[in-house]
Amino acid sequence: MSRENQGPDEGGAEAPEQLALIRESVRKAKVPRAKPRTWRGAAVAGALPVARVLVDKGVLHLDRYFDYAVPEELDAVAQPGVRVRVRFGAGARNVRDGRREGGGLIDGFIVERCAESDYQGPLAALAQVVSPEPVLDERLLGLARAVADRYAGSLADVLQLAVPPRHARAEARESGEAPAPPDAPEPGSWRRYGHGAEFLGALASGGAPRAVWTALPGPEWAEEIARAVQATLASGRGALVVVPTGRPAARVDAALTELLGEGRHALLTADAGQEKRYGEWLAVRRGAVRAVVGTRAAMFAPVRDLGLVVIWDDGDSSHSDDHAPFPHVREVLELRASRDKCGFLLGSWSCTVEAAQLVESGWAAPLVAERDQVRAAAPLVRTVGDGDLARDEAARAARLPTLAWRAVREGLKHGPVLVQVPRRGYVPRLACERCREPARCRHCAGPLEARESTGALCCGWCGRDEAAWHCGACGGFRLRAQVVGARRTAEELGRAFPAVPVRTSGREQVLDTVPGAPALVVSTPGAEPVAEGGYAAALLLDGWAMLGRPDLRAGEDALRRWIGAASLVRPQGVGGTVVIVAEPTLRPVQALVRWDPVGHAVRELSERAELSFPPVSRMAAVSGTAEALSGFLAGAELPPDAVVLGPVPVAETTPGPSRRPGAAPPGEHWERVLIRVPPGSGAALAASLKTAQAARMARGARGVKGARGAGSSGGARGSKGAREAGAAADAVWIRVDPLDIG
């Protein structure tokens, strides 16, 4: 049943403007098309009087547009892409005595101007055009929609990531003119790679090459990226570079300034203020700046005539957005490269399984150096395994094997020495030092943990203290336990090498660079300072801890972090040495010794294929109460080749600073299924999940609380009885490409 408020003057041939106010609702035969009009009888735009608006209201509407009438006075500014404010809500149609009540003002974007609407009813008018700046052009909208589809998320959620909040002062400033394109660069150190010069040449001549680039260790990568950008600019196109954090962003920024001069590129990072951020973004959108380097939010930067997208170090978890629908920079840039037919460059010292897959599928070409180039650039890597440690009683007590000791002492004669220590709290699980049997609670067999505060042993499941643990398998009573933090390692090393300054770099305080003079630099992974002239040596401690995590990516991640540290060390030709304390038979350790991250990734990839694991198969996780989950699955029309794994109980909300999205709210029991589809069915899976979710929302199921950020929780649980409790219980969380599997 439709409830049209058709006025008496309805359906005639009168001009769209100057329509009388609608009074009481009069039911009439359906009129095929609604005429735009405004409530107070104000005039509407003559041509294209309907504005199709994307209302920015989260998960509610999924991907629907709403039509509004364009008042005459807004005709000129109400162009596609501009931000608007509109009345939205049930109250908006409460028409009595010509007064509209309720229906608050909310933000939206005009997506399109049309001659008529297919909505059968009177249109409300745009309340306000916030600014004439067309921030959401067709390209960006298309990309946002593709990302929403890929991740089974809502368009509005993606737009929140893609369009920064407006800042009026920034908008008022002129952005200036785009400078003339620079000359094409010399290949420089790109010559070290088989097809490096060729790749640059293709970019400079307007081509769209796609490459997975395994960067040689050392500091040249930033300049190499800058040269690729310059080559793209030389072709008259724009370029976009996304790096994981502010530090590498600063390096690429410096390299671009060096190569292109000031003012030819924008730096888009999270720590800039809103005004600066929006100003830079606008300069990019307006075409005044053609090159962008930034962290993950920059992946949506509206670069004009995009010719190249670059992602550096795609294995870094910072590339995964932490807002719904959790898009990953690599995936978004892949979409951009495909949609805009532009070049694509994925660079890393290491290699993810996903990168290997891009090469294997033929989507991108490998961009690698010859073996002798690798040997010339990489340090010498030596291992200290369990066997060596066992034979090395004295060193064991000091946690520093003889070989490592010697490498440090030797290195310190020639320059700074890096010591990489896993972060505290990076502990996998406690195990018997002698036989490696995991340490379990004698009551419930849960994993034993060391209490944060006291270090005392307790059970991670039942919480009981364990005062006198001994190994059930071999009777040993020593645990291989906590990773010693960077600070304590620094103290120990300071005592061992009293004449040498010791510096630490970690989460709280990250050092950017250290001088080339002899010093011990103790750092957690990812926080390693760059040393002037490179480190003379590096020591990678507690490798077992890095590998011990119950995660599909543990091996790949460990190798990435080791290579990240080892890449800061001088080449072996000038004495650069790395000592890693880890079992030399383990695959990632061997890959480090051989400096073969690609081989490692390729092997992982084939194993994942055999096991039907991502990224070969695509997975999605759906979580909620048992009831909501079964209801969702019953209603979903999954692709025929989908396999549903589970449900299994969701791990209790982890006690920690950030509650993981998809974890059960406190006091609720949630379950999770993983849904897996074979290669080629990923899009169908996402579509079916989105459809099922939309259908559920349309019926009573209330939106997922906190879908827009992990924070918000329960609401008015239990207060108003079944309705609200039922609504919360109905909600399910959907995450395509969940991170924590394995």
Residue 155 or 346: which CB sits closer to DNA? 155
- Which of 194, 201, 571, 715 contacts DNA by CB under 7 A? 715
How far is 14 from 11, CA to CA, in rounded Å? 8
How far is 412 from 348, CA to CA, in rounded Å? 29
Answer for the pair 450, 427: CB distance below 8 angstroms, yes or no: yes
Count, residues near DNA per rule CB under 7 A: 35
Answer for the pair 530, 568: CB distance below 8 angstroms, yes or no: yes
How far apart are CB 669 and DNA at their closest, in Å? 20
Choices 74-82, 100-108, 174-182, 509-517 (CB under 7 A): range interacting with DNA: 100-108
Choices 101-109, 396-404, 537-545, 621-629 (CB under 7 A): range interacting with DNA: 101-109
Answer for the pair 8, 95: CB distance below 8 angstroms, yes or no: no
Cα-flanking dihedrals φ and ψ of residue 63, to 5°? -110, 35
Q: Which residue, 401, 358, 175, is CA-closest to 283? A: 175
Answer for the pair 154, 697: CB distance below 8 angstroms, yes or no: no
Structure tokens at 586: 């383990």
- Which of 74, 77, 124, 292 contacts DNA by CB under 7 A? 124
Q: State which H helix or E strand residue 374 sits in.
A: helix 371-377
Residue 95 or 241: which CB sits closer to DNA? 95
Answer for the pair 323, 157: CB distance below 8 angstroms, yes or no: yes
- C-alpha distances out from residue 143 to 26, 282, 738, Å: 43, 18, 21
How far is 621 from 658, CA to CA, in rounded Å? 19
Choices 99-107, 513-521, 531-539, 666-674 (CB under 7 A): range interacting with DNA: 99-107
- Ligand-binding site membership of 342 (annotated): no
Is 157 a binding residue for DNA by CB under 7 A? The answer is no
Is 94 a binding residue for DNA by CB under 7 A? The answer is yes
Residue 168: burial class (beta carbons within 10 Å; 0-12, 13-18, 19+): exposed
Answer for the pair 35, 8: CB distance below 8 angstroms, yes or no: no
- Which of 700, 709, 711, 742 contacts DNA by CB under 7 A? 700
How far apart are CB 363 and DNA at their closest, in Å? 40
Choices 288-296, 661-669, 685-693, 714-722 (CB under 7 A): range interacting with DNA: 714-722
Structure tokens at 1: 């049943």
Q: Which residue, 674, 677, 577, is CA-closest to 618? A: 677
Residue 622 or 727: which CB sits closer to DNA? 727
How far apart are CB 67 and DNA at their closest, in Å? 3
- Which of 13, 90, 180, 467 contacts DNA by CB under 7 A? 90
Binding letters toward DNA, positions 8-47, x by CB under 7 A: ----------------------------------------
Is 107 a binding residue for DNA by CB under 7 A? The answer is no
Structure tokens at 150: 């890929």
- Which of 6, 117, 617, 693 contacts DNA by CB under 7 A? 117
Residue 30 or 393: which CB sits closer to DNA? 30
Query: Which residues in 175-283 belong to E strands, given as ranges?
Result: 210-214, 238-242, 265-268
Structure tokens at 483: 């990773």
How far is 26 from 324, CA to CA, in rounded Å? 43
- Ligand-binding site membership of 441 (annotated): yes
Is 527 a binding residue for DNA by CB under 7 A? The answer is no
How far apart are CB 722 and DNA at their closest, in Å? 6
How far is 586 from 591, CA to CA, in rounded Å? 9
Is 91 a binding residue for DNA by CB under 7 A? The answer is yes
- Ligand-binding site membership of 432 (annotated): yes
- Which of 11, 80, 103, 201 contacts DNA by CB under 7 A? 103
Is 702 a binding residue for DNA by CB under 7 A? The answer is yes
How far is 220 from 60, CA to CA, in rounded Å? 48
Contacts of DNA in 717-736 (CB under 7 A): 721-723, 727
Residue 394: burial class (beta carbons within 10 Å; 0-12, 13-18, 19+): exposed
Residue 543 or 631: which CB sits closer to DNA? 631
Residue 90 or 499: which CB sits closer to DNA? 90
Residue 97 or 372: which CB sits closer to DNA? 97
Answer for the pair 11, 32: CB distance below 8 angstroms, yes or no: no
- Which of 119, 363, 426, 461 contacts DNA by CB under 7 A? 119
Binding letters toward DNA, positions 43-72, x by CB under 7 A: -----------------xx---xxxxx---
Question: How far is C-alpha 6 from the chain's CA centre?
Answer: 49
Choices 8-16, 117-125, 439-447, 636-644 (CB under 7 A): range interacting with DNA: 117-125
Residue 41 or 649: which CB sits closer to DNA? 41
How far is 110 from 67, CA to CA, in rounded Å? 9
How far is 566 from 379, CA to CA, in rounded Å? 7
- Which of 88, 213, 497, 544 contacts DNA by CB under 7 A? 88
DSSP assignment letter at 92: G
Question: 643: which residues sit within 8 A by CB, 6+ positions away?
Answer: 612, 675, 676, 677
Is 101 a binding residue for DNA by CB under 7 A? The answer is yes
How far apart are CB 124 and DNA at their closest, in Å? 3
How far is 18 from 684, CA to CA, in rounded Å? 48
Question: Hey, which residues does 537 pair with through a beta bridge?
Answer: 417, 577
How far apart are CB 93 and DNA at their closest, in Å? 5
How far apart are CB 4 and DNA at their closest, in Å? 9
Residue 480 or 705: which CB sits closer to DNA? 705
Answer for the pair 244, 378: CB distance below 8 angstroms, yes or no: no
Residue 88 or 535: which CB sits closer to DNA? 88
Structure tokens at 388: 């060596």
Contacts of DNA in 583-602 (CB under 7 A): none
Residue 244 or 631: which CB sits closer to DNA? 631
Binding letters toward DNA, positions 476-495, x by CB under 7 A: --------------------
Residue 585 or 712: which CB sits closer to DNA? 712
How far apart are CB 104 and DNA at their closest, in Å? 7
Question: 69: which residues sit within 8 A by CB, 6+ positions away?
Answer: 36, 37, 38, 44, 49, 50, 51, 123, 124, 125, 126
Residue 181 or 715: which CB sits closer to DNA? 715
How far apart are CB 57 and DNA at their closest, in Å? 8
Residue 101 or 186: which CB sits closer to DNA? 101
Is 560 a binding residue for DNA by CB under 7 A? The answer is no
Q: Which residue, 563, 226, 649, 610, is CA-closest to 381? A: 563
Residue 65 or 281: which CB sits closer to DNA? 65
Tokens 């924008």, located at residue: 266
How far is 402 from 412, CA to CA, in rounded Å? 15
How far apart are CB 728 and DNA at their closest, in Å? 8
For DNA, the binding residues (CB under 7 A) are 60-61, 65-69, 86-94, 101-104, 117, 119, 121, 123-124, 699-700, 702-703, 705, 715, 721-723, 727
Residues at the binding site for Zn(2+) are 432, 435, 441, 444, 459, 462, 471, 474
Residues at the binding site are 432, 435, 441, 444, 459, 462, 471, 474
